[in-house]
Chains A and B, each alone.
Chain A
C-alpha cells in the first residue's frame, strides 16, 4: 500500500479519538428517536458531518418540515465551501472522479490532515494519497461509531433517559468556549433567538438562531485584521477535537491578532 496513504491514515488517528465519541453519541441519539434506524444512520454517509447530522436528526424527530432540515443543514455546512475553496488550488487539473471523491470526504478532520500535507510537500500526488488515506479512515471510523452507538442505544431501557445525552454533550463542548468573546456572543444570540423562535412554523427557529449567532459573533470578529482565504484556512488546530476545532483555532488566532 502507498506509504503516503498509510501516513494520511496514521495522521487521522488522533482526530478519530476526538470524533468517535461524538459519532457514538449521535448513534445513541438515533436510537432514541422515532425515526427508522436506517434513516438515522443514513445521515452518516449522506451528510458526513456531526453537527449537521445532529440537527437533521433532532429536527426530523420533532416533526420539522423538510425545508427546515435542508436549510439548517446547509447553514451548518456552509463552512465546507471554504474548505472547498482552499482545496481547489491543489486539486486543479485532477480527474473529475478524484474531485467528486475528494469533495465527498471533505470535512473538518480530513481538511486539516490533507492541507497539512499539501502545504508542506510540493508533490501533489503524495498529497492526494495522504488526503485519501486520512479521509477513508475517518469515513470508516465515523460510520462505524454511529452504527455502534445506534445498536447499543437501542438495547438501553428508556428509563435511562438517554435523550438528554446530546444536549449534555453539546453543553460540554460549548461552555469552555465561553471565554472567547465572539464565540460567546454567537452562542448567546443563537440560543436566545432560537428560544424566541420556538413557535416559528416549519421548525425554522434553529436555522434562524444559527444565522443570528453568526451575525452577532461576526460583529465582534469584524474589527480584526482580515486574513487572506488561504492563510486563514491553512491554520491548523492545536488539538484534535470535534469537527469545529479547526474553526475555533482560527478564531483564537484572529482574536490574538486583534489584541
Chain B
C-alpha cells in the first residue's frame, strides 16, 4: 500500500478510537483494559528503542565488523549511566550524541 494511504488509514483508525465512546454509549471497554492502558507507552517505547538499536548495531557490524559497533555501545553506556544517576531524561541525548561523535572520531583515526 502507498505510504500516504497507509498514514491516512492509520490516522483513520486512531480517529475511530478517539470517537469510539463519544458517539455511542453502547460500546464499553472491559475494565481490565484500563490498567493495561497505562502500560502502552512504556511498552511501545521499549519495543521501538530495542528494535531500532538492534537494527543499527547489526548494520554497523555487517558493514565494518565489531569495531564499528563500539560508538553505539559506548553511547548507550554513557547515556544510560547519565539518566540512571540523575533521573533526567534529556541527558540521554545531551550525553549520548557527543559520546557517539567522539568515539566515532577516535576509532576512525
Contact = CB atoms under 8 A, between A and B. Distances in A.
B92 A168 contact: yes
Nearest to B35: A221
A175 B7 contact: no
- Taking residues whose C-beta sits less than 8 angstroms from the other chain, chain A's interface range is 35 or more
Contacts of B49: 166-167, 170-171, 174, 191
Interface string B21-57: 1110100110111111111111111111111111110
Contact of A58 (B8, B9, B13, B52): B52
B39 A175 contact: no
Contacts of A169: 89, 92-93
Interface string A190-216: 110111001000000110011111110
A39 interface: yes
A144 interface: no
Nearest to A203: B51
A11 B3 CA distance: 36
Nearest to A180: B42
Interface in A47-93: 47-49, 51-52, 54-56, 58, 60, 62, 65-66, 69-70, 73-85, 87-88, 91-92
Interface residues of B, number: 68
A172 interface: yes
A55 B44 contact: yes
| Most chain A beta-carbon neighbours within 10 Å: one of B41, B96, B97 | B41
A161 interface: yes
Interface stretch (A1-9, A99-107, A114-122, A126-134): A99-107
A42 interface: yes
Nearest to A94: B22
B22 A103 contact: yes
Determine the main DSSP class of A at the interface with B: helix
B62 interface: no
B51 A195 contact: yes
Nearest to A67: B1
Interface of B: 1, 3-11, 13-15, 17-23, 25, 28-29, 31-56, 72, 75-76, 79-80, 83-84, 87-93, 96-97, 100-101, 104
28 contacts: A46-B14, A47-B7, A49-B14, A51-B45, A58-B48, A60-B7, A70-B9, A74-B13, A80-B17, A82-B29, A84-B19, A91-B22, A103-B19, A104-B18, A106-B18, A160-B101, A166-B48, A168-B96, A171-B80, A174-B45, A175-B80, A210-B47, A212-B43, A218-B32, A222-B35, A226-B34, A229-B31, A247-B41
Interface of A: 21, 25, 35-36, 39, 42-43, 46-49, 51-52, 54-56, 58, 60, 62, 65-66, 69-70, 73-85, 87-88, 91-92, 99-100, 102-104, 106, 160-161, 163-177, 182-183, 186-191, 193-195, 198, 205-206, 209-215, 217-218, 221-222, 224, 226-227, 229, 232, 241-244, 247-248, 250-251, 254
Given A173-B45, A175-B84, 14 more contacts: A46-B7, A56-B7, A69-B7, A74-B14, A75-B40, A87-B21, A103-B19, A168-B92, A175-B83, A187-B42, A213-B42, A217-B43, A229-B34, A247-B37
